[in-house]
Amino acid sequence: MVRVPRNRLILRQVLLSLAALSVCLSGWVTAAVLTGSGSTALTVVAVAPMVAGLVVPVLVWFAGEDRLDRRPVWYAGIGVVTLLFAVAAGMGTAAAYLDVAGRRVPVVVTAGDDAARDGYQLVVVETAAGGEDLGELLVFADRDLRAGDRLVAVIDPLGWFPPDAGQPSPVLLRWTYGLAAAGSVVLAALTGLRVRRDLNRYDFTGSRRPPQRLRRARQ
């Protein structure tokens, strides 16, 4: 008899955490897609999913929680989670999409960048086959690129994202994976702590409600 409600308490919190994570990622992936177009108007519109990706996950995670359980420490914890995943999604959405759906095309550098910054060079490229101008391409390279150098660019088949070099900076990769991993650890810890709290209450009182509520109800 005890296992069924205990399992439900565990499942409830796991689902709330997953739902909050899904809402956060949905909002920030949408924002990354809108800003990736390069349109000023869409960049302004992207503010809405950005805000939603920070606020709504917190509301979802606290769904069904008693007012007495809405403590600052819980808000701070889930707030940190949303920020970590928000930054990771914003940094990695375009690269992840192009890695999966992008079309690799040989290109030729038509104008180089004499001032390399931390390994990055902004060069102008065109397709090697037809000479189609693809505009500027931000390249992470260990040498100075000049006109005539050949590269491989990743092209969005939908034409939404600008061409990419397909070689993200190692620093960018470390930050993206690191932030996502940190967010996962914090979210798992918060979920575990809340599950333990609910199970302890259930074992002693038969309810997940705060003990103060139960005492007031019995008076």
Interval 77-134: pLDDT, tens? 999 999 999 999 998 898 888 888 889 999 999 887 655 566 678 888 888 888 888 8
- CA–CA separation, 41 vs 46, rounded Å? 9
Residues 138 and 114 in one domain: yes
Residue 184: the pLDDT is 97
- CA–CA separation, 104 vs 154, rounded Å? 4
DSSP at 118: T
Residues 74 and 25 in one domain: yes
Residues 142 and 182 in one domain: no
The full length of the chain comes to: 219
Distances (CA, A) of 202 to 70, 91, 209: 18, 42, 8
Using 70 as the pLDDT threshold, list the residues of the chain that sit under it: 1-4, 113-119, 168, 213-219
pTM attached to this predicted model: 0.80
Residues 48 and 111 in one domain: no
The answer to whether residue 162 is domain-embedded is: no
DSSP 25-91: HHHHHHHHHHHHT--HHHHHHTHHHHHHHHHHHHHHHTTT--GGG--HHHHHHHHHHHHHHHHHHHH
Residue 212: the pLDDT is 72
CA pseudo-torsion sign 38, 41, 44, 45? negative
Position 174, amino acid: R
Residue 1: the pLDDT is 40
Residues 95 and 174 in one domain: yes
Q: What domain range is 135 assigned to?
A: 103-155
Residue 171: the pLDDT is 78
Residue 214: the pLDDT is 60
Residue 70: the pLDDT is 92
Q: Which three-class secondary structure state does DSSP give residue 162?
A: coil
Q: How many domains does the chain have?
A: 2
Residue 113: the pLDDT is 66
